[in-house]
Amino acid sequence: MTITDLRAAHHTTLANAMKANMERTFHAHWPEAPSGKIYGETANDDGLAAFQGQLNKKFDRLPAEQSWIGGEASPYGFDLGITYPQIALDDLIKRASDAQTAWQSLTPEDRASILIEALERGAKRFFEIGYATQHTTGQGFVMGFQASGPHAFDRALEAVAMAYAAQSTFVTNVLWTKPMGKINVSINKTYRIVPKGINLVIGCSTFPVWNTVPGMFAGLTTGNSVIVKPHPGAIYPIAIVIAEVREVLKELGLDANIIQLAVDTFDKPITLELVKHPAVRVIDYTGGPHFGAIVEKEAAAHGKTTYTEKAGVNCVVLDSTDDLDKALENLAFSLTLYSGQMCTAPQNIFIARDGMLVAGTNVAVSDVAAKLREKIDALVFNEKAGATTLGAIQNPVTSQRVEDVRSLGLAVIRESGSVAQHGFADARSLSPIVLQTDTSRADIYTKEWFGPVSFLIVTDSFEASISEVVGSIHEQGALSVLVYTTDPDRTITAEDAIVNAGAPVAFNFNSFVWVNQSAAFSDFHGTGANPAGNATFADWSFVTNRYNVIGVRKQV
């Protein structure tokens, strides 16, 4: 296998991904269904066996070090017992710096082709990645398979294609000739793409692959060395991906340290040390707003580039619909999926005190609330799909948050309760709690309640609901907004107000697409225009700020 072979093998994949990025139509390189007909009849069994075989052992797919650490525990009730090589910070930096010289000398097409090969190799481990995700994040297996497998890999490919396209917008060299009367002056001009330096990618606990690979692959495609610092509670899934990239690099005779895994523990974190290191020039961060603000402040003080996705408060407006059952079934699924532990999950649901107009008939707030409870119950108590849709709670702090909100004295539309997970008696699993209030309790609902917590908030009017949403976007940020209205004028009003506030908006979802979802190659995840984060997966700014173009001129 040579780089020339990889360019030929993956040319069509890269071209199709670039085309999809431009046209924004549906495109999925890897099928999302965990089907044996697609991935092989034994793929699931093989993936489960690989997962079980890794438990309580060293993750030896990465280079051995003097010390090994790990402390992951499954939200389904058992310790993983996996340890990972612990690399000293100075060694991480030196290895990354040493590896970058050869990596940045490759052409953007070479780098893109190598990385696509690594993704294709990694796709053969989707089932192991799915089980690893399930038992680090608490997602149900199917969601873990999709979110950390095909959906994440499509996001990675999207970033590769975007980064390659950006670096290919002009020629790399030209003979520049300027007519000057009877003579011409000629200069050989070369344009060199110079990466900014080490790219640190800080992962999160709930989506350790999906949120990590865009920055990771954008950094690599633009010639930077990358250090991935995963959340100490969710290392295993992204470690598999990194191991596959390193294996491809080694087979090509390249320095595999262009991509490294930096592990730490809850009691001895190293993230801030990496953020502050002068050799780190680009930082991707996914996580809570408090530490995200620290990362942004530290980076700005030292001229570093940051891409952040922090927490927001996502809103819904209920105004009118032609089919209340379908609308609330869709909303109930969004509230229930992965127990609300998604950065795009709705939290605040605004409704005017006059209720909701349904096919020309006014439905009272109390009836809408009862119908929403009914739809959530139908999902939660579905024997086949309820428990797997909810999954488990990743962090005990999230479970405590449900207890905290219950004690605030608000009216309870739907009470939370424990949910049995088949085969996992000790799983930490809760169904959604929904509370009702009005705008007098903004002190409660204007902060993020990450997890299975949502509020039905009664306002004076549709206009007041939109005003609440816009204020929330400005103050807390948002990664999703959902509006139900059949009124054309109100649709325009809502769209203009929400988009101009800096958040994306969806209207009248009532089928098998949910506001939580963000489709690679089509949906821009995040806008960079509100406090929820400054990055977008993936627009031009997500890739072009990772390198500089520097010219060389030689007189002919």
The reply to whether 554 falls in a domain is: no
Shared domain for 10 and 98, answered yes or no, is yes
- Whether the Cβ atoms of residue 363 and residue 476 lie closer than 8 Å to each other: no
Among the candidates 310, 327, 350, a domain finishes at 310
336 and 240 in one domain? no
Structure tokens at 331: 């909303």
In the predicted structure, residue 1 carries a pLDDT above the cut 90: no
Same domain for 340 and 196, yes or no, is: no
Based on the structure, what is the number of domains in the chain?
2
The CATH code of the domain that includes 475 is 3.40.309.10
Q: Are 282 and 323 members of one domain?
A: no
Read off the pLDDT of each residue in 429-451 and give the average, rounded to a whole number: 97
- 265 band by pLDDT with thresholds 50, 70 and 90: very high
Q: Clarify whether residues 266 and 376 are in a common domain.
A: no
Is residue 512 in a domain? no
Question: In the predicted model, what is the mean pLDDT of the chain?
Answer: 97
The model's pLDDT over 513-546, given as tens digits with 9 standing for 90+, comes to 999 999 999 999 999 999 999 999 999 999 999 9
Amino acid letter, 33:
A
Annotate 405-462 with three-state secondary structure.
HHCCCCEEEECCCECCECCECCCCCECCEEEEEEHHHHHHHCCCCCCCEEEEEEECCH
Residue (of 457, 554, 469) closest to 503 by Cα position: 469
Task: Tell me the CB-side half-sphere exposure of residue 150, using CA atoms within 13 A.
Answer: 16
305 and 426, same structural domain?
Answer: no
Phi-psi label, residue 483: left if phi above 0, alpha if psi -120 to 50, beta otherwise: beta
Residue 110 to residue 222: CA distance in whole angstroms: 11
Do the domain assignments include residue 544?
no
CATH of residue 181: 3.40.605.10
Q: Do 247 and 321 have their domain in common?
A: no
Asked if residue 23 is part of any domain, the answer here is yes
Q: Are residues 252 and 285 in the same domain?
A: yes
Residue 466 has pLDDT above 90, yes or no: yes
pLDDT at residue 36 above 90?
no
Q: What is the pLDDT of residue 26?
A: 96
Same domain, 324 and 440: yes
Task: Dump pLDDT digits (tens) for 213-253.
Answer: 999 999 999 999 999 999 999 999 999 999 999 999 999 99
Which of these three, 310, 339, 358, is where a domain ends? Answer: 310
Q: Reduce the secondary structure of 109-154 to three states and give it as a string.
A: HHHHHHHHHHHHHHHCCHHHHHHHHHHHHCCCHHHHHHHHCHHHHH
Q: Are 188 and 161 in contact (CB under 8 A)?
A: no
What confidence category does residue 355 fall into, taking pLDDT thresholds of 50, 70 and 90? very high
Task: Using the predicted structure, report yes or no on whether residue 446 has a pLDDT greater than 90.
Answer: yes
378 and 266 housed in the same domain: no
Task: Work out the percent of the chain whose per-residue pLDDT is above 70.
Answer: 100
Specify whether 366 is located in the same domain as 496: yes
Q: Residue 470: what pLDDT?
A: 98
Looking at 242, 277, 310, the residue that finishes a domain is: 310
- Asked, for residue 101, whether it belongs to a domain, the answer is yes
Q: Give pLDDT tens digits for 53-82.
A: 999 999 999 999 989 999 999 999 999 999
> Which is nearest to 483 in space by CA: 474, 475, 471, 499?
499
Q: What is the pLDDT of residue 208?
A: 98
Residue 200's nearest CA partner among 226, 236, 173, 165 is: 226
Q: Does 177 score more than 90 pLDDT?
A: yes
Residue 311 has pLDDT above 90, yes or no: no
Q: What is the pLDDT of residues 331-353, one digit of tens each?
A: 999 999 999 999 999 999 999 99
- Angle between helical axes of 213-221 and 236-251 (0-180°, round to 10): 20
Q: Which domain holds residue 444?
A: 315-507
What is the predicted pLDDT for the residue at 491?
Answer: 98
What is the rounded distance in angstroms from the CA atom of residue 118 to the CA atom of residue 313? 36
Q: Is 519 part of a structural domain of the chain?
A: no
69 and 15 housed in the same domain: yes
Residue 513 lies in a domain: no
Q: Taking the CA atoms of the chain, what radius of gyration do you get in angstroms?
A: 25
Residue 538 lies in a domain: no
